């Protein structure tokens, strides 16, 4: 496995562990779905979004793991039980761990198989983006949880 891919896998798996800890640290399931002031997304919705994002772009698109994404539902569903959120995190972790070690240098250097942004990008570039995206929303969840405490 390429050293960059190994590093990205390590970061994503680490941050999914942190996401799991954050979700478990909310005092109750209701708090996972609270939106206050100018906070547009609850921790529960951000968790669904992160898991859907990784399962679709890494697991499904790169790893050919069956998954049908409903991005709209990631933001519209409410009151999903904490246990189900934790299962989604585990499924995302498995998709990442199964897929990333299989990627070759040629695959990393090739164009990401589907259009995501306005300009084409390499798979390598998009994997770095996905790690940053996870970190960004993980920070939002951490801040949200602490604001409610």
The strand pairing partners of 149, in sequence order, are none
Q: Report how far residue 4's alpha carbon sits from residue 21's, in angstroms, rounded to the nearest whole number.
A: 26
Q: Report how far residue 139's alpha carbon sits from residue 113's, in angstroms, rounded to the nearest whole number.
A: 29
- The per-residue pLDDT for range 57-72, each reduced to its tens digit, is 999 999 999 999 999 9
The parent domain of residue 65 ranges over 3-148
The strand pairing partners of 111, in sequence order, are 122
Question: What CATH number corresponds to the domain at position 34?
Answer: 1.20.120.450
- The per-residue pLDDT for range 138-147, each reduced to its tens digit, is 999 999 999 8
Cα atoms in the 13 Å half-sphere on the side-chain side of 13: 15
Domain count, the chain: 1
Q: Report how far residue 69's alpha carbon sits from residue 64's, in angstroms, rounded to the nearest whole number.
A: 13
What predicted TM-score, i.e. pTM, was given to this entire model? 0.95
């Amino acid at each position: 496995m390429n050293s960059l891919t190994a590093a990205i896998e390590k970061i994503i798996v680490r941050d999914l562990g942190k996401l799991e800890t954050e979700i478990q640290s909310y005092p109750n399931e209701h708090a996972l779905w609270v939106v206050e002031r100018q906070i547009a997304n609850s921790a529960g919705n951000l968790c669904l979004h992160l898991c859907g994002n990784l399962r679709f772009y890494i697991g499904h698109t790169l790893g050919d793991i069956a998954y049908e994404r409903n991005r709209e539902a990631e933001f519209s569903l409410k009151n999903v039980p904490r246990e189900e959120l934790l299962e989604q995190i585990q499924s995302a972790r498995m998709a990442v761990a199964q897929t990333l070690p299989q990627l070759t240098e040629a695959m990393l250097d090739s164009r990401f198989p589907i259009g995501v942004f306005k300009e084409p990008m390499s798979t390598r570039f998009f994997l770095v983006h996905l790690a940053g995206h996870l970190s960004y929303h993980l920070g939002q969840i951490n801040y949200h949880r602490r604001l409610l405490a």
